[in-house]
Every structure is written in C-alpha cells, then in structure tokens.
Amino acid sequence: MNEQHDICQRGNHDMENPLLWPILDILKKKPSGWKVHTLAHELSEHGYITQFDPSPDKDLFKRNFLLMNALYQLQEALYPDGWLQVEAMDIVLMSSLETTCDTVDTINPLREYYLDWRNYEANESEVRRLLNDFWNRYQNFIGGSSSSRIDRAKALSLFELERDTTRVEVRKQWRKLALRWHPDRENGNAERFRVLCDAWNVLRNG
C-alpha cells in the first residue's frame, strides 16, 4: 500500500471538505500572511462560513476544526507539485522548490485529529449536511449548478473513469482534475472546472 493511499484512508468517512477550493482561491491571490482566524474571516466575508453553533465556544471550535481539516486535505491534494504549510499562526502556500519538506507527515497527531470527522462533535448526517451546504455555496459562487442535469454515466465519462470505479478512485481523480483545471492554476480553465464541479456533485455521494 503506497503512501498516497494511506493518506486517503486516514480521512474518516472519506468526506472531502469543499472549503479546499475557496481556500485555494484565497491563497493563490495571497500565498502568505495568513492565520486560522484571519483566513476564517476572509471565508466569512465571501459567505462560505457562518455560525455553526449557538454556543460561542463551540462555534469557535467547529470553525477552527473545519478550517484545519480543509487545510490538511488541501496540503495532501497539492503534494508533491506544491506545498501548503499548515500551522495555525502561519499558513503559507509554496512551490515545491520553496520548501524543505519532501513528504506529507502522515503520523502527525494534530493532522490525524483534524482529519477525523468524529472529532467535530457531530454525527455523520449533520456533517454531510454541513458539507453539502458548503458545496452548494461554492458551486453558486463559481457559476455551477447544484442541481446538475449530468447523470452518473456522463459524470464518470468526464472523469475518464469506468462504471465500476471505487469511491476512493473517484475522489483521487476529482482532486487531480480539479487541481489541473482550477482557474487560479497555470493553464487552468474556469469553464472546464465548473463542468467538473457539476460532475463531482453527482459522484461524491454516489
């Protein structure tokens, strides 16, 4: 079993945090100078995160958890072509040439904690509802459709995958294609990215 497969398996319930892509948008425009709370404020300004709990303390915890979860997932998605330094008070997006890190630390206890959705203090259905809400907001932001007419067969075709492909393979291919066509990446394509987002919306809960 290779390292990348191990990384994927550590994300409990195999649920992707859709804050990855808004965070990547923000970091591509300003790669450094971010802390968790300033990044949270920026995401709030764009309408991606709101109140998660009526208790101020729990709301702060859940906000922090969601951001750290997304940052660690984005770190995995960018590696090895790029590097995301994930530290609560110093978040930096770098090229592979700018960092001395040559691997993702899969035994980092902090990383393991934030990638385990059970630590969010909510049941699975609540977490899925929250992530679906995030996803729909992001699709609306980029001009995609949350009620796509693409069926599963068409979505798999767009992902260049066979009908019997596994959920792990679908997720891996989504990240590969999304990073390739993300409009803030070199040679990215906004329209292609929107189409792939619609396809992912069909496949992600299938």
pLDDT in tens, the chain (206 residues): 344 334 334 445 468 898 999 999 999 999 999 999 999 999 999 989 888 888 888 888 999 999 999 999 999 999 888 999 999 899 999 987 877 776 888 888 999 999 999 899 878 788 888 888 888 888 888 887 655 678 899 999 999 999 999 988 999 999 999 999 998 887 889 999 999 999 998 998 76
Q: How many CA atoms lie within 13 A of 4 on its CB side?
A: 12
**How far is it, in rounded angstroms, from Cα 23 to Cα 104?**
19
- Tell me the pTM: 0.79
Classify 83 as helix, strand or coil: strand
Whether 29 and 187 have beta carbons less than 8 Å apart is answered as no
Residue 21's pLDDT is what? Answer: 93
* Spatial separation of the C-alpha atoms in residues 78 and 98, rounded to whole Å: 14
Rounded CA gap, 194 and 52, in Å?
27
Check residue 154 and give its pLDDT.
Answer: 94
In this prediction, residue 200 carries a pLDDT of: 92
Write down the pLDDT at residue 10. 42
For residues 186 and 174, give the distance between their C-alpha atoms in angstroms, rounded to a whole number. 18
**Bridge partners (DSSP) listed for residue 95:** 82
Q: What is the pLDDT of residue 4?
A: 39
In this structure, are residues 154 and 203 in contact, taking their beta carbons and an 8 Å threshold?
no
Six token digits for residue 72: 């660690």
Q: What is the separation of C-alpha 156 from the centre of its chain, rounded to a whole number of angstroms?
A: 20
8 A C-beta contact, residue 91 and residue 35: yes
Residue closest to 84 by CA, chosen among 145, 46, 39:
39
| Four-residue CA torsion sign, 86, 88, 93, 99 | negative
Nearest to 169 by CA among 181, 156, 179: 156
Q: Is 187 left (phi over 0), alpha (psi -120 to 50) or beta?
A: left
Confidence at residue 143, expressed as pLDDT on a 0 to 100 scale: 81
